[in-house]
Structure 1
């Protein structure tokens, strides 16, 4: 088999594989789980048995129910309704009775001895989960219990006093398990075994979790609700995706020629493969999730841009096409791996520590990273060698990069620092002004601040289009033009639920009059309740901790990988810069801050760290080549930034194109997500070029001067 024929078969194989994944992804697209905003789901409302629970009890109950509800979907939402009700929305579910049966009715949980003495209550339990162990090569199903600090002490005392006896776990006056105590157990963790089956273990663990709530609840109502966004949202997002992909492919073909064709084929394969994996991993896709996937399309070409820039440089030095391709992949590998591994570490931390939107975002991010690495390092490489073997040996087909003009970024670094500082300080000032004028530093939406939920029973079944055109305008008029209204239909009824910001008594009266006049319905068919934010205080804390730990882990990785804490410190400061600049725009333009805000900030962090590492990789390369000793530290940094400038600009353009398409063709909630992302892309490009490298330069000089000062002081002694 000759080389050309083998290359043709290789190219054909990649094309068939690409077509297969795209067809498979498209044909099974209906199997992708959709969130509550796109597909609707089950809505369950519980009411406390005690009419006057404390705010702390309700907050704790909401958080624990959130953890429980997320076993059905990462996108499940739990929020307060009124003073003593809790609402649970579970996307994708269609059978309310089945969910209720599995979820169970929250009640009272007690641990008691054989004489009926209560040893612990549900308040002492932190969590419970089903598991499996191997005992003498035999599978055993177990229930893993974790107690809080107070519960751990009580449980240790209880087991010490009941060795050889049974402790009864009682839920709503019914014994659900009665394990025998073998020994005193300390440390706050215990296991119950053996359990008959995993399903039985899971059922008991679920009952313990739901019984560990601070208050006793009873079911008030349950409904199947429709999507809060119609087919228009999905259609416009897919349109944005198609146009974005087409523009990115056109850009890559114009700038990178034959390698651009290879990356375009790899990009189409990337899209098909990601769709298949979203189905395989059962990722729940919401509207921000779709936006994240489309954004990852723009970021997927980043590795290709790094490789192609290197290939152009090698061709510019007079090397053959084959040697240039080989060297391009070898020299780009460290930057690609470091950038993607750093972001993957962040995704892992966010998944393990985060909840809800954060966890779903982390899953999508991780899938995107892995797939983009595979397509760039293997598929694009295979295609380039196939083209070469088929006779594409003319360097003009690949583009030749001439000597790079070295720009003195170090000289102008103080101006760059000052420009960024002015924007960030202005942001803090605007946050203060917002706090003074509105009582909040941001324009928080329903997810964070809560609002009012109005249920209207119409005389006929309105379509979502009719709701959008006839009902929503009445709410906007009553609330002074507020655009945050969210509508959903209750399946099998004429009821429509509309959530808005909290309405005053006057606004409610105005709304009720408008609805009665327009639809000729009585006031008793309109019910309004105040609701809490779906993003609880604990979820916010989880998100902040997840982001903090993720940044810390990235810092450690960069420190170890580059063997210099100054690289790690500079990259983290550049990340902080990008987040603060984005926050400035949120404050200045009063962009809505909701659950999407968390995903937006995380996206910017992931994007920015990638760009910064590419610059640092070149600086490290210059140090290894001895450029610092030959031409000085300033030249080494300026050369590294100048050589990566094309990559920084081109990657920013491809990513910006896809996000801009979202802004142009997306629905309002998509625009709210895409606007800050565009700011983050520009800010990330600016910080990686003008801030990160110069910061490292200043840190090195500071360290050098400190060492010289210490040396001089020792000399005097």
Structure 2
């Protein structure tokens, strides 16, 4: 068994433990800082919306891709001096295609940009495709994405409530999901990656991943807390912390296994391809999986424990467990004090007084002799000598 496997076995048996729930103030503080930074990036810088959301014109042409393809086509498009052109977005698709995206343009400017692309690519005008994308279509995609997110969160709340019979578990899971989405979107704003439909797909995917990991932890919590109010061994927080320790190694293994291929896709999409759906999708998946694992271990169980500890039954359980621990701590101290106290020696008994001269002497004991049965018998004088 590997070292990590040995640690996981010891954590599952409770031989070693880390106080995840007891340090919840630290985790909540870290999450608040991350969420605050994400909101600052989101409202200060804003999201770099792709052409699918803000509208524009997209051109594609076949060309042999080289190291200078992006710069060459960018310069050629800018040289047209089209009205409201802005900075064109030039990307390569594979090794034989180039894509140029611009802001919405008039028909004359569209034709000028198309001709410049055909000239730079060395192809005829008919071999350059152009497609107008309206901003209204992008708004429809954004609205549908928001509705999909709202419906997803609503269904998640109902499903977790029905499965665990506990609305507080649903609340903790939903807060963790909103936490994951906020940080992921904030990272997109801070990094400056374009938000495309691939980004929306990635965000919805990480919600399912984070939810799966949270449900696994909650299921172990339910197993450890079954009938907990009928005993006084553990509080709800203690049982929840044990559940997190029992599943933490599994969560780490699952997260690392999922992050490795996503990281490879992110490197390929960013370094090799430069831009495109792979980069947008992989960034959302990478950030979302990492943050989702963090929230499943540190945030969701701690929130569930905070919600449950407010119940009167759990507060009574806390008092019983605290009283039992206090009594157990006092008992060894009393035993130690009792063991260290010296015993008082018995006082010597007074010596037996001898009778005074005026008192009749105590008759001497008659001599005894042993018989065959082993019982001593008084010795008797022969009759002939009794009177003498």
TM-score by length of 1: 0.37
Q: How does 1:71-150 map to 2 (within 5 A)?
A: none
Aligned residue pairs total: 299
Q: Work out the CA distance in 2 between the residues paired with 1:522 and 1:550.
A: 48
Q: Work out the CA distance in 2 between the residues paired with 1:607 and 1:527.
A: 38
Q: How does 1:697-712 map to 2 (within 5 A)?
A: 697-704=305-312
Who is 1:584 aligned against? 186
Give 2:30's match in structure 1, choosing from 399, 419, 443. 419
Who is 2:248 aligned against? 645
Q: Answer 1 or 2: which has greater strand percent.
A: 1
Q: How does 1:191-210 map to 2 (within 5 A)?
A: none
Q: Is the 8 A contact 1:474 1:511 kept in 2?
A: no
Who is 1:501 aligned against? 102
Give unmatched runs, 5+ long, in structure 1: 1-252, 258-307, 317-399, 435-440, 457-463, 489-495, 709-717
Who is 2:144 aligned against? 542
Q: Deviations over 1:163-217 (max 9, x none)?
A: xxxxxxxxxxxxxxxxxxxxxxxxxxxxxxxxxxxxxxxxxxxxxxxxxxxxxxx
Secondary structure of residue in 1 paired with 2:17? coil
The structure whose Rg is larger is: 2
Q: Work out the CA distance in 2 between the residues paired with 1:604 and 1:674.
A: 11
Q: Work out the CA distance in 2 between the residues paired with 1:497 and 1:533.
A: 23
Give 2:47's match in structure 1, choosing from 425, 437, 442. 442
Taking a change above 3 Å as real, the CA distance of residues 639 and 532 of structure 1, as seen in their structure-2 partners, is: same
Who is 1:466 aligned against? 64
Q: Deviations over 1:546-582 (max 9, x none)?
A: 2212221121111121111101100011111111110
Give 1:622's match in structure 2, choosing from 224, 249, 260. 224
Q: Work out the CA distance in 1 between the residues paired with 2:144 and 2:121.
A: 44
Q: Work out the CA distance in 2 between the residues paired with 1:403 and 1:420.
A: 28
Q: How many Å apart are 1:530 and its aligned residue?
A: 4.4
Who is 1:597 aligned against? 199
Q: Deviations over 1:373-408 (max 9, x none)?
A: xxxxxxxxxxxxxxxxxxxxxxxxxxx976442211
Q: Is the 8 A contact 1:487 1:499 kept in 2?
A: no
Give 1:676's match in structure 2, choosing from 278, 284, 287. 284
Who is 2:234 aligned against? 631
Q: Work out the CA distance in 2 between the residues paired with 1:452 and 1:641.
A: 51
Select the structure with the greater relative contact order (CA < 8 A; seq sep ≥ 6).
2
Q: How many Å apart are 1:522 and its aligned residue?
A: 9.2
Q: Is the 8 A contact 1:502 1:530 kept in 2?
A: no
Q: Work out the CA distance in 2 between the residues paired with 1:524 and 1:558.
A: 55
Give unmatched runs, 5+ long, in structure 2: 79-85, 317-388
Who is 1:659 aligned against? 262
Q: Is the 8 A contact 1:404 1:642 kept in 2?
A: no
Q: Work out the CA distance in 2 between the residues paired with 1:526 and 1:645.
A: 54
Q: Work out the CA distance in 2 between the residues paired with 1:423 and 1:471.
A: 38
Q: Is the 8 A contact 1:445 1:501 kept in 2?
A: no
Q: Is the 8 A contact 1:485 1:501 kept in 2?
A: no
Q: How many Å apart are 1:483 and its aligned residue?
A: 4.3
**Cα RMSD for the two superposed structures:** 4.0
Q: Deviations over 1:292-348 (max 9, x none)?
A: xxxxxxxxxxxxxxxx99xx85xx7xxxxxxxxxxxxxxxxxxxxxxxxxxxxxxxx
Q: Is the 8 A contact 1:443 1:592 kept in 2?
A: yes
Q: Deviations over 1:81-125 (max 9, x none)?
A: xxxxxxxxxxxxxxxxxxxxxxxxxxxxxxxxxxxxxxxxxxxxx
Q: How many Å apart are 1:519 and its aligned residue?
A: 6.3
Q: How many Å apart are 1:445 and its aligned residue?
A: 1.0
Taking a change above 3 Å as real, the CA distance of residues 472 and 637 of structure 1, as seen in their structure-2 partners, is: same
Q: How many Å apart are 1:415 and its aligned residue?
A: 1.7
